[in-house]
């Protein structure tokens, strides 16, 4: 189900709680909401739709990936400054991102995965994991 985007900064700055199998419907809602906003959005975190769980969805190519409890396990020493926007915030802001990240997560069925991303895809994951940690750009 497509959910409205939360813009309450106090809510968004709260750390999200671990996600489990019972949170699978939230993953579906994130996918639906991402698809509904595909013209202006490449990733979402569950707190952006009012759910304080560590779930993100990122557009990494042909199909978006839903990640439960994503964690950056390694990153490149190289970083760069960039400008990002966010559906929950007005305008864009400068931030610094690593060029390459390794992320571990579980899928909706609880199966563990590891993924290495670079460039814009790594940037998306970092932005959404920041949301899970209550960090806004």
Report the C-alpha gap between 88 and 1 in whole angstroms.
18
Of 63, 61, 65, residue with least CA distance to 27: 65
pLDDT at 30: 97
State pLDDT tens for residues 95-133: 999 999 999 999 988 999 999 999 999 999 999 999 999
Contact between 67 and 57 (Cβ < 8 Å)? yes
- The tally of CA atoms less than 13 A away on the side-chain side of residue 47 is 28
Which one of the listed residues 28, 84, 114, 128 is annotated catalytic?
128
pLDDT at 62: 81
CB atoms within 10 A of CB 102: 15
Is 102 one of the catalytic residues?
Answer: no
State pLDDT tens for residues 56-104: 999 988 889 999 999 999 999 999 999 999 999 999 999 999 999 999 9
Contact between 3 and 31 (Cβ < 8 Å)? no
State pLDDT tens for residues 4-35: 999 999 999 999 999 999 999 999 999 999 99
Report the C-alpha gap between 131 and 52 in whole angstroms.
10
């Amino acid at each position: 189900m497509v959910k409205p985007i939360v813009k309450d900064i106090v809510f968004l700055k709260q750390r999200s709680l671990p996600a489990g199998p019972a949170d699978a419907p939230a993953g579906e809602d994130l996918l639906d909401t991402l698809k509904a906003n595909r013209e202006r959005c490449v990733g979402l975190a569950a707190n952006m739709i009012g759910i304080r769980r560590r779930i993100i969805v990122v557009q990494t190519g042909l199909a978006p990936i839903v990640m439960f409890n994503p964690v950056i396990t390694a990153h490149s020493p190289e970083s760069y400054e960039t400008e990002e926007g966010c559906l929950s915030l007005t305008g864009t802001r400068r931030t610094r991102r690593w060029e390459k990240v390794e992320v571990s997560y579980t899928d909706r069925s609880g199966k563990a995965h590891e993924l290495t991303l670079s460039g814009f895809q790594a940037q998306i994951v970092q932005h959404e994991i920041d949301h899970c940690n209550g960090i806004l750009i």
